C-alpha cells in the first residue's frame, strides 16, 4: 500500500526504521507501535525528522540561477517605485552606551595581572597559588582602637593645638575681634 519511515536516537547514532504497510491490520498495528515509539524516544526526535524531511522536500526541485543584476528585465512601474524604510520608533528608556561584552572579555577591557606571580588572566584576589600570610596579625579588639584626629590649627595665628574660638592669644590681646 505505502511505505513509512521512523527514526530514533540510539547513543550518538540515528537509527532509521523503514517498513511497508500492505493491509488495514498493518495500519492498526503500526498505529500502536508508532504511539509507543513516539513516547519512548520523545517527540523531539520525531519533530527533527519531520523538519529534515521537509527540508529535503523543499529543495528536491530544480533551483535556477538568478544571473547578474545588469541582465534583469525590471518593469517600469516597479522601477519607478520608491521604497522607504519603516518609521523609526525609539525604545523607551535611556539608550545603552556600551555593548554587552562576550564571555571571554573583561568588563574594563584590560587583561588582569596577578601581582604575586606576574601572570596575566587573574588578579591576586583570584590567585590559586597564593601562599597564606606568614606574619601573624595580632588581634586588637575594636574597643581599644581609637580614631586619631589631626590637631586643631588656629586660623588667626596658624598655631596647632587649639581652634580660633579657644585661642589664648586673642584673649591676651584684648578679647575677640
Query: CA–CA separation, 38 vs 115, rounded Å?
Result: 59
Where along the chain do its domains lie?
2-57
Write the CB contacts of 96 (distance below 8 Å, at least 6 apart in sequence).
none
Nearest to 165 by CA among 177, 148, 151: 177
The pLDDT tens digits for 1-55 are: 344 444 444 444 444 444 444 555 554 555 555 545 544 455 555 566 667 777 7
Write a three-state SS string for the chain: CEEEEEEEEECCEEEEEEEEECCHHHHHHHHHHHHHHHHHHCHHHHHHHHHHHHHHHHCCCCCCCCCCHHHCCCCHHHHCCCCCCCCCCCCCCCCCCCCCCCCCCCCCCCCCECCCCCCECCCHHHCCCCCCCCCCCCCCCCCCCCCCCCCCECCCCCCECCCCCCCHHHHHHCCCC
pLDDT in tens, 107-156: 666 777 888 777 777 888 878 777 765 666 667 666 666 677 788 888 88
Residues 142-176: tens digit of each pLDDT: 666 667 778 888 888 888 888 888 888 776 655 55
Question: Do residues 19 and 3 touch, judged by C-beta distance below 8 A?
Answer: yes
Quote the cell numbers at residue 87.
518609521
Tell how far CA 71 is from the center of its chain: 46
Considering the entire predicted model, what is its pTM?
Answer: 0.20
- The answer to whether the CB of 27 falls within 8 A of the CB of 6 is no
Amino acid at each position: 500500500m505505502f511505505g513509512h519511515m521512523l527514526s530514533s536516537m540510539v547513543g550518538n547514532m540515528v537509527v532509521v526504521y523503514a517498513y511497508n504497510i500492505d493491509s488495514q491490520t498493518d495500519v492498526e498495528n503500526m498505529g500502536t507501535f508508532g504511539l509507543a515509539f513516539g513516547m519512548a524516544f520523545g517527540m523531539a526526535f520525531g519533530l527533527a525528522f519531520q523538519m529534515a524531511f521537509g527540508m529535503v522536500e523543499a529543495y528536491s526541485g530544480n533551483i535556477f540561477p538568478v544571473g547578474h543584476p545588469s541582465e534583469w528585465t525590471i518593469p517600469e512601474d516597479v522601477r519607478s517605485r520608491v521604497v522607504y524604510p519603516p518609521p523609526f520608533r525609539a525604545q523607551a528608556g535611556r539608550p545603552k552606551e556600551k555593548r554587552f561584552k562576550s564571555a571571554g572579555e573583561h568588563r574594563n577591557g584590560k587583561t588582569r595581572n596577578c601581582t604575586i606571580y606576574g601572570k596575566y588572566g587573574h588578579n591576586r584576589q583570584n590567585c590559586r597559588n597564593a601562599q597564606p600570610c606568614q606574619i601573624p596579625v595580632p588581634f586588637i579588639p575594636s574597643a581599644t582602637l581609637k580614631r586619631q584626629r589631626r590637631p586643631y590649627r588656629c586660623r588667626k595665628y596658624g598655631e596647632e593645638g587649639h581652634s580660633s574660638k579657644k585661642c589664648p592669644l586673642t584673649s591676651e590681646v584684648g578679647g575677640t575681634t
